[in-house]
Amino acid sequence: MTNPTPILQAKQVSKFFGGLTALDKVDFEVYPGEVVALLGDNGAGKSTLIKCVSGVYRPEHGEIFFNDQNITHHSPASIRDLGIETIYQDLALAENLDVGGNVFLGKEKKRNFLGLLRVLDDDFMRSEAAQVLERLDIHIPSLKQKLVNLSGGQRQAVAIARALYWNAKLLIMDEPTAALGVPEQRKVLALVRSLREHNIPVIIISHTMQDVLEVADRMVVMRRGRVVANLPRSQADAEILVKHIVGAAEVA
Ligand SMILES: Nc1ncnc2c1ncn2[C@@H]1O[C@H](COP(=O)(O)OP(=O)(O)O)[C@@H](O)[C@H]1O
Ligand SMILES: [Mg+2]
């Protein structure tokens, strides 16, 4: 676990919204192959930190490095090109396309039709999608199904499959299980483990302590824009984490 070179490193990152300090000199690292949970109450700064990493926000202070490249002022598109994929709660999938169409969303594969027209190559996209789903051990009965007909867990799986297909080197998931039923939550957690087996590091934001304790190798707790705890799994339990989350750890 003590790998000296982080794949992602945020150094002293601060982000302000008007007079509000959303991030206050945050140091945060992710090492190769680890699942890092980001915890904290509503408004603690978790999503803001993630958005600074994914290029949605630009921090006012501090720097962010990905594999030693300074990405602090990169655009979201260039950060995705480097292999940092973020799956937000709304997933950003297309409801009326099938699974293949969603894996290739925005990067659609076309083929020649009658030697003239360029049309979507649905068969190619579906078969590529099938392969990546297979790698993740995900079973979706028919890949011709439109997303609108899939369950929450299956959609999450499609979003993860898309990230993996496009060679994600770091996957960030903001509250992936929030809107799911229990069996589907389990499936998403299994997917996170599967990503770790593929040596793809994951940052997972979750309110559900049980999720986090099950999948994360390390837990980082934020409170009011600061990192207040950084614990390996072996040193973390629900009680300790809750104390850090609510700010009562010092009186423990
Ligand atoms: N776009 C924004 N404009 C103004 N304030 C924001 C914006 N995004 C987040 N904030 C504020 O920054 C703080 C951290 O929010 P956020 O990162 O979303 O917390 P979390 O994800 O931990 O719930 C909160 O006080 C929130 O209201
Ligand atoms: Mg949030």
> Structural domain boundaries of the chain?
1-83+169-252, 95-166
Using an 8 Å Cβ cutoff, are 61 and 12 in contact?
yes
Using an 8 Å Cβ cutoff, are 227 and 27 in contact?
yes
From the CA of 88, the nearest ligand is 2
- CATH says 1-83+169-252 is which class? alpha beta
Tell me how far the alpha carbon of residue 43 lies from the centroid of ligand 2, in angstroms: 7
Tell me how far the alpha carbon of residue 163 lies from the centroid of ligand 2, in angstroms: 21
From the CA of 49, the nearest ligand is 1
Nearest residue (CA) to ligand 1, atom 8: 48
- Six token digits for residue 62: 């501090």
Taking the CA of residue 42 as reference, the ligand 1 atom at the shortest distance is: 23
pLDDT above 90 coverage of the chain, percent: 48
Query: With 80 as the cut, is the pLDDT of residue 111 above it?
Result: no
From the CA of 220, the nearest ligand is 1
Query: With 70 as the cut, is the pLDDT of residue 241 above it?
Result: yes
Nearest residue (CA) to ligand 1, atom 7: 17
What residues line ligand 1, using a CB cutoff of 6 Å?
A: 17, 20, 22, 40, 42-48
Tell me how far the alpha carbon of residue 97 lies from the centroid of ligand 1, in angstroms: 32
Nearest residue (CA) to ligand 1, atom 4: 17
Reading phi first (left if > 0) and then psi (alpha if -120 to 50, else beta), residue 25 is in: left
| Predicted pLDDT of residue 122 | 82
| Predicted pLDDT of residue 2 | 53
Q: What is the pLDDT of residues 141-188, one digit of tens each?
A: 888 888 888 888 888 888 888 888 888 899 999 887 777 777 778 888
β-bridge partners, 65: 9, 70
| Predicted pLDDT of residue 39 | 95
Reading phi first (left if > 0) and then psi (alpha if -120 to 50, else beta), residue 91 is in: left
| Predicted pLDDT of residue 103 | 84
Tell me how far the alpha carbon of residue 6 lies from the centroid of ligand 2, in angstroms: 24
Question: What mean pLDDT comes out for the span 240-245?
Answer: 94
Q: What is the pLDDT of residues 58-78, one digit of tens each?
A: 999 999 999 989 999 999 989
Question: Which residue of 24, 48, 54 sits with most ligand 1 atoms within 8 Å of its CB, as the best mutation to test the pocket?
Answer: 48
Question: Which residue of 14, 15, 17, 23 sits with most ligand 1 atoms within 8 Å of its CB, as the best mutation to test the pocket?
Answer: 17
Question: What mean pLDDT comes out for the span 100-112?
Answer: 76
The CA distance from 85 to 100, in Å, is 18
Nearest residue (CA) to ligand 1, atom 6: 17
Using an 8 Å Cβ cutoff, are 9 and 84 in contact?
no
Question: What mean pLDDT comes out for the span 37-57?
Answer: 95
Tell me how far the alpha carbon of residue 117 lies from the centroid of ligand 2, in angstroms: 44
What are the C-alpha distances in Å from 69 to residues 50, 63, 64, 164? Answer: 17, 10, 8, 21
From the CA of 14, the nearest ligand is 1
DSSP per position, the chain = ---SS-SEEEEEEEEEETTEEEEEEEEEEE-TT-EEEEE-STTSSHHHHHHHHHTSS--SEEEEEETTEE-TT--HHHHHHTTEEEE-TTTT--TTSBHHHHHTTTS--EEEETTTEEEE-HHHHHHHHHHHHHHTT---S-TTSBGGGS-HHHHHHHHHHHHHHTT-SEEEEESTTTT--HHHHHHHHHHHHHHHHTT--EEEE-S-HHHHHHH-SEEEEEETTEEEEEEEGGG--HHHHHHHHHT-GGG-
Query: With 60 as the cut, is the pLDDT of residue 104 above it?
Result: yes
